[in-house]
Structure 1
Amino acid sequence: MKEATRRLVDTIIKTLTITIYYWFARKAVSIWEAFQTKAFWLDMISLLCILLFLYAGGIKLLEYQKFIVQLDQSPMLKGLTGFIAWFIPTVELIISVTMSVGMLHSARLFRWSLLAFLALMTLFTFYILAILFISPSIPCSCGGVIGEIGGWWGHLAFNLIFVGSSAYVLLAQEAAAPIPVLGKLYAITAVALIPFFTVGYLALRVDRKPGHRFAGFERKLPINLHEAVAIMELNSNSYYLAGTDDDHLYLAHPSAIGQLLQIRNDLLDSTYIPLSLPPLTYISVTTSVQPPYFYLSDGNSGWVYRGLLRDRMALPYLNGSRFVHAVPTSGSIVGFYGMQGMKNALGYYTSADTAINYRDGQLIEQGGEGMFSTDGRLVYDKRHGRFVFVYHYRNEYLVLDSQMNVQHTGHTIDTITRAKLKIGHNRSDGQYVLQESLMVNQLAAVSDNKLYVKSMLLAGNEDEGMYDRHTVLDVYDLDKQAYLHSLYLPDRRGHTVRALTITKNGHIAVLQGRELVMYPFNKISLRNDTGKRKPNTCLKRSRQHYINHLTKLITL
């Protein structure tokens, strides 16, 4: 398939070269004279439009299975991928052929073909804007060179260039040969209204709140909501939580692997700690802190470095074993979430080992979902020296000892016992892709025998508005395997919690957008909600308050 793609690109390049040569031969002018003529640039823009759709349509048909898998990942195209997969490339090829014929033989045919090109590119542009700003999730970008280099924003810039260029050619033709009023009406409808309403229809089909459809459980809801006691503004939203000690939080940044940001627990003081690192070849480095050590790990490169915080010197600790995620401890053991064969697995490593010791059988796959059904988050319980693995897509967690032996299995309060996933298979390269998923448990943290889980599902007794404006943390007792209660952390500037940890002084430290926020453990007072979902009591009191005041005004 790659060879066929290469031949297609070679053919397009040869076509472009021959066409440009033919243009000069037909006009019998020099290159410099051609560059000074408007006709040359109009023809070149038109030729590039033809070649764009020739390449785009051809590559979609040559990599048909891959194209279907990419379409299936879009939340806006559910149920339409079978039709779109052949309709779009067919239309692109037809437009490129009719534009070619029109350039040589018919100005009228060329004008209408270019109008169709502009309409389709406008449709693609509206779709990208909807994906970026409306869609609840952003899938992998479409294939091709532009998608691989620039992603969705690269696609958007590329499309805007071609929309503007083709519109320029149409306006130049309009100046030379004006279009009747009725034709202009058709053109406006085709270029603007049809793409706009088409993408609007696709956007309306999107289920923006899939977590609201599975309310077969209830939460113990707090009356007193948590309010921030300290906030620190960061200069980037790319910081992540690296760890804690008795008095400090440690943050790291993916583009600054040679330093840590040390922040006092009250968020009133911070300092950068430079790390002494050897020359490293890395792909994706994660920095972790478990006093007295700091760790640098790169699962793609297969190495882990460790050093003491007091001397800041990183030394080789593990090399040659690839993994997904490393979870260091304060001792000599590092826990790992990685792959063994074609399955996800949990493992551990000590300084006496030569490779990661993966355990078989702890992560149980479900049905045809394979390794995707065992995605999850591994966290470390420092006080009890054990690990906890929380599944992302089902209501289950594992409590494991330091050597990844399962001590017991627990369940979160929701009803999703089986992962709700849709897996796509690209037969051309054998790859499997996660197309649709229902996230159940997104984040997790452990402290004082309690497990804190960020749940993505609405409970039956929760108010939708309150749920949508807060991050919900469900709290579990690990030894008793019991659900205790839930916490509400308010969104800040539209940002939900993206990382959390529990500090030594008993606060919840979270990252929300570009802010590090500290929430206290208030004394929890629980609402006694049972049965059907009830409105928020604060809202009820507020409405009654206004009714009483309105009654007094009427009686005056």
Structure 2
Amino acid sequence: MMMIPVTSVKRFMIQTICSLFAGLFIYAAVSKILDFENFKVQLGQSPLISAYAGLISWAVIAIEIIIAFFVIIRRTRTFGLFASLGLMTMFTAYIFLILNFGSFIPCSCGGILEKMSWQAHFIFNIVFVIMALVGIFKNEELKQSNKKNVSKAKLTQISVIVIILSTTVMIVLFFTSETIMHKNNPFIRRYPQHPVEFSALVDIKYNSHYIAGISDSRIYMGNYQYPAYILSFDHNLKKRRVEKMHLDLKSKPFRTITVNVKPPFFYITDGTVPVLLRGKIKDWKITKDLKGIPYFTKAVIMDSLSAVIRSNNSKKAANVIAVFNSDATEKISYKRALLEKQKDGIFDTDGMLLYSSESELIVYLYYYRNAFFTADKKGTLLSRGNTIDTISHVSFKVSTLNNGKSFAISSPREVVNAKAAVYKNLLFVHSKIKGKYENEKLWNRSFIIDVYDLKTMTYRMSFPIYHTSGNQLNSLMISDNNLYALIGTDLVVYKLSEILKKEIK
């Protein structure tokens, strides 16, 4: 019986291992190159290394190709196998961190490997780590088969060092990337898997509606054109109801009536009168006139007796935030330091006024720059923050007309933050600015919603709300379980997933 020399077996084993590594790395590198933009986008959305996506995307490809050549060439084979061990350890540590510590699970590989589950990919990587170790020891045995000074202890020591260093590098990348992404975001969005899921849609036919409020059982729609009528649906959009308020439109010179529903009350506001009326939704009758409110351009109800407003009662008609309390001796308290002027104090401070009843937070988000602030119920500033885009100053020009008596925008203006909603500690912002590594198709067919934690003033995640028959997002509102969006004439309901719910404090 013919015996195969041990040396030949070792040589075949090493050759096979090296060929597998070379094939794996070349295949992976070529797959990434052929779909490089998608690969870079996926890395940018990773919950571990988002902040370094630009550098890592090229570095990984280059390293994979270099290592592939090292393992093929006999003189550099040992070094190539150690490099393979390090790289596969990093990949394995990456997947372990994704599965156990990541806020969501992305995809960042190409070709056939993309079809593996993350658990299968983890096992696949471990197998290659073991193969690298076997190749290292067998290759050194083959190189020094005629020598007596082969040190397995030294090889073991180096291997352990490589594994520890590779794992440490990935852990450091993870923690530093998390800090950068949440607090010093370089305009990279993160898209977890399905933080919201489509639930229902109804076409309400007219584009004059807006979302007026939410109760435990219904969502209420106001109508700018017919303000006395309230349209409501159950949360599945199945049961439709129309209510008529007992509102005498001729009793006051109403011009811009807005209805706010905060059960058990509803409120009617019109800053041109000015007026703030309150009634109960059980019969839709107005029962109280909250007198003493000044003229205003925006008003948000805080409770049954108070509201936060934006007025022009300031120098040169600049915007100013004020707190109104109908039960106080001093009914109105102006907070002139809240809005920060950049040009005229009117257009440059324009934005959205919001209030979180659950957290008792006033929130103001600017339209034309990446800034917002929070204040308590009395209008005391709590914190200032920024959205993740890079537009910190308004880009348009303002001209003075009529000898300084009026102002007008005299250049194109770019909207940064188009719509927003607040719920408990979270701020939801419809951003109009495209970030790094954005998926072009996703951007073109959806509204991108960025989520911020108002307690920590950090960016948390982003998700798309897809266009329906319309491509204009008119209203946005959030409840415990649902997100409601008015898109054109379509009222759409998305259910909040556990990924998003756990961010709500």
TM normalised by structure 1 equals 0.53
Aligned to 1:306: 278
Instruction: Quote how far apart the aligned CAs of 1:250 are.
Output: 0.7
Question: CA deviation digits over 1:203-256, x for unaligned, max 9?
Answer: xxxxxxxxxxxx962111234485521011102011001111111111011122
2:430 maps to 1:454? yes
Is the 2:448–2:462 Cα contact (8 Å) retained in structure 1? yes
What secondary structure does 2:441 align onto? Answer: helix
Is the 1:381–1:446 Cα contact (8 Å) retained in structure 2? yes
User: Which among 447, 452, 455 is matched to residue 471 of structure 1?
Assistant: 447
Map of 1:89-488 to 2, 5 A cutoff? 217-224=187-194, 227-278=197-248, 279-314=251-286, 315-319=288-292, 321-341=294-314, 342-353=317-328, 355-366=331-342, 368-427=343-402, 430-435=405-410, 436-488=412-464
Is the 2:319–2:346 Cα contact (8 Å) retained in structure 1? yes
Between the aligned partners of 2:426 and 2:210, the Cα distance in structure 1 is 22
The alpha-carbon distance between structure 1 residues 524 and 462, as it changes in their structure 2 partners (threshold 3 A), is: farther
Is the 2:195–2:496 Cα contact (8 Å) retained in structure 1? no
For 2:362, the aligned partner's letter is F
The alpha-carbon distance between structure 1 residues 309 and 244, as it changes in their structure 2 partners (threshold 3 A), is: same
Question: CA deviation digits over 1:148-198, x for unaligned, max 9?
Answer: xxxxxxxxxxxxxxxxxxxxxxxxxxxxxxxxxxxxxxxxxxxxxxxxxxx
Structure with the larger helix share: 1
Is the 2:203–2:491 Cα contact (8 Å) retained in structure 1? yes
Instruction: Quote how far apart the aligned CAs of 1:373 are.
Output: 1.2
Between the aligned partners of 1:383 and 1:259, the Cα distance in structure 2 is 28
Is the 1:377–1:391 Cα contact (8 Å) retained in structure 2? yes
CA RMSD of aligned residues (A): 2.1
Is the 2:267–2:279 Cα contact (8 Å) retained in structure 1? yes
Question: CA deviation digits over 1:290-347, x for unaligned, max 9?
Answer: 1121111111111111112224221311356110011012332111112122221111
Is the 1:257–1:287 Cα contact (8 Å) retained in structure 2? yes
Instruction: Quote how far apart the aligned CAs of 1:485 are.
Output: 0.4
Aligned to 2:69: none
Is the 1:292–1:330 Cα contact (8 Å) retained in structure 2? no
Question: CA deviation digits over 1:502-532, x for unaligned, max 9?
Answer: 123x11100011110001223559xxxxxxx
Question: CA deviation digits over 1:8-67, x for unaligned, max 9?
Answer: xxxxxxxxxxxxxxxxxxxxxxxxxxxxxxxxxxxxxxxxxxxxxxxxxxxxxxxxxxxx
For 2:202, the aligned partner's letter is M
Between the aligned partners of 1:227 and 1:485, the Cα distance in structure 2 is 15
Matched pairs, number = 309
Instruction: Quote how far apart the aligned CAs of 1:425 are.
Output: 2.8
For 2:267, the aligned partner's letter is Y
Between the aligned partners of 2:294 and 2:224, the Cα distance in structure 1 is 21
2:470 maps to 1:498? no
Between the aligned partners of 1:312 and 1:223, the Cα distance in structure 2 is 42
Between the aligned partners of 1:318 and 1:336, the Cα distance in structure 2 is 14
Between the aligned partners of 1:491 and 1:523, the Cα distance in structure 2 is 23
Stretches of structure 2 lacking an aligned partner (at least 5 in a row): 1-184, 501-505
Aligned to 1:116: none
For 2:336, the aligned partner's letter is D
Aligned to 1:212: none
Shifted more, 385-394 versus 216-225: the winner is 216-225
Stretches of structure 1 lacking an aligned partner (at least 5 in a row): 1-214, 526-556
What secondary structure does 1:370 align onto? Answer: coil
For 1:293, the aligned partner's letter is F
Aligned to 2:493: 518
Is the 2:301–2:307 Cα contact (8 Å) retained in structure 1? yes
Question: CA deviation digits over 1:381-419, x for unaligned, max 9?
Answer: 011122111111111111111111111111111111111
What secondary structure does 2:347 align onto? Answer: helix
Between the aligned partners of 1:346 and 1:266, the Cα distance in structure 2 is 37
Is the 2:267–2:276 Cα contact (8 Å) retained in structure 1? yes
What secondary structure does 1:372 align onto? Answer: coil
The alpha-carbon distance between structure 1 residues 413 and 463, as it changes in their structure 2 partners (threshold 3 A), is: same
Between the aligned partners of 1:492 and 1:465, the Cα distance in structure 2 is 15
Between the aligned partners of 1:270 and 1:319, the Cα distance in structure 2 is 36
Between the aligned partners of 1:264 and 1:228, the Cα distance in structure 2 is 16
Between the aligned partners of 1:401 and 1:378, the Cα distance in structure 2 is 13
For 2:191, the aligned partner's letter is L
For 2:476, the aligned partner's letter is L
What secondary structure does 1:465 align onto? Answer: helix
